[in-house]
Amino acid sequence: MESTLRRTWAEIDLDALAHNYHKLRERIGADVKFLGVVKADAYGHGSVQVSHLLQELGADYLAVSSIDEAVELRLNDVTMPILILGHTPKEQVSRLIKYHITQAVSCEAKALEYSEEAVKCGGILKIHIKVDTGMSRLGYLCDGDHFETGVAGICHGCSLPGLDAEGIFTHFAVSDEPGEDCKKYTEHQFDLFMRVIEEVEKRLGRKFALRHCANTGAVARYPETFLDMVRPGLLLYGYGEFADELGLLPVMTLKTTVSTIKIYPAGTAISYGGIFKTEHTTRIGVVPYGYADGFFRCLSNRCALMTKEGPAPQRGKICMDMCMIDLTGKMGVDVGSEVEVFGKQNSINDLAALAGTIPYELTCAVSKRVPRIYIRNGKVVEKELLLRG
């Protein structure tokens, strides 16, 4: 469906994405493979469009969260390898094999289920073994007293019929956090991961084709963890504290427009709850961007949107479909004027910090009623609205 409204929209700069990819390729080196994380609709940027570009640029792998995300890519001409990081029910194994999708295996019970189903349908399921080295989420437990049982379970899973154990991976919990304690914890996770790999490969008598553990924080801070493949997420899209250090560019710019302007006298309460009252004659603009579009209500009265005449403080509580900004003294900003929510002029990092969250959450929160406009070589190449037509 194509929107005819000039309301609120997200501009996706494919040139910035390509720039980030090339910068990260330079950093990791020619011998390390590149996995682009495109789960959650590529963090709100559009998984199909992002995957097409990564495929064109020569990326080696993609990662998604579910089989639905993976099949969406396959049905839209994405042919490169795809790894599902999350759980897939055993009933879906035949589809995994049909669409040539790689599945993460996080415990022995899942390995047994996947093996049984693969044998039933007469196919081979490619898998990557997930090791829990300290994230305490998914994966074979291998730390401390669990080392022997964890290694034995991984070896058993890799030897089951119908499964092709191409890779092994883990996930760092604090690689993006500062401080000596976080550094030691990441080094412990990496050391444990390498010990697990060494022991498993020795017992199996063969090497894993792909060993990977470097997420965004590790790509930026721990080059020793690059191994065979890296998995940058936030970095690929040009956000976070490491982006500037590495010369990366923000890919998404979220824009809206001024729909109404009203002049209020001193003492006027603005929006629900009256948490903001004008102290003098105030020029208030209404913009069609609210929490249903992805504007967190916790940011009410705490942030500013960027106009062509500088930042305009947001006033009063953010509503479902709109919010108010202070345009006092900005007489060049009128009805129809563009306003940047975040992007090159209004950092998403600052907005995320005010909300007490990470940039990921803000881009993922951009709702389906916000059209995505894809730009390449300075021109609009595609428009997408996720609402049903």
pLDDT band for position 370 (50/70/90)?
Answer: very high
pTM value is: 0.94
Domain 252-384 sits in which CATH superfamily? Lyase, Ornithine Decarboxylase; Chain A, domain 1 (2.40.37.10)
Residue 112, pLDDT > 70, answer yes
Residue 119 carries which side chain, given as an amino acid letter? V
Residue 159, pLDDT > 90, answer yes
Return phi, psi of residue 303, to 5°. Answer: -135, 180
How much is the pLDDT for 4?
Answer: 54
**CA distances to 152, 226, 308 from 46, in Å:** 40, 27, 28
pLDDT band for position 241 (50/70/90)?
Answer: confident
Domain 32-238 sits in which CATH superfamily? Alanine racemase (3.20.20.10)
**Class of residue 82 by CB neighbours under 10 A (exposed 0-12, middle 13-18, buried 19+):** buried
The pLDDT tens digits of the residues spanning 310-340 come to: 999 999 999 999 999 999 999 999 999 999 9
How much is the pLDDT for 388?
Answer: 66
The overall average pLDDT reported for the chain is 96
Task: Using only the alpha carbons of the chain, give its radius of gyration.
Answer: 24
Tokens of 120: 């039933």
Is there a catalytic annotation at residue 21?
no
The pLDDT tens digits of the residues spanning 120-133 come to: 999 999 999 999 99
- 135 annotated to bind ligand: no
Can you tell me whether residue 338 is helix, strand or coil?
A: strand
pLDDT band for position 2 (50/70/90)?
Answer: low
Domain extents in the chain:
32-238, 252-384
Residue 1, pLDDT > 80, answer no
Q: Percentage of the chain with pLDDT > 90?
A: 96
Which residues make Cβ contacts (< 8 Å) with residue 197, sequence separation at least 6?
A: 168, 208, 211
Is there a catalytic annotation at residue 272?
yes
**Closest by CA position to 358, among listed 367, 349, 366:** 349
The pLDDT tens digits of the residues spanning 218-239 come to: 999 999 999 999 999 999 999 9
Mean pLDDT of 352-371: 95
Which one of 207, 272, 308, 383 is the catalytic residue? 272
CA 225 to CA 213: how far, in whole Å? 7
**Closest by CA position to 89, among listed 75, 68, 74, 61:** 68
How much is the pLDDT for 29?
Answer: 96
- 137 annotated to bind ligand: yes
How much is the pLDDT for 384?
Answer: 87
Residue 105, pLDDT > 80, answer yes
Which one of 39, 130, 317, 330 is the catalytic residue? 39
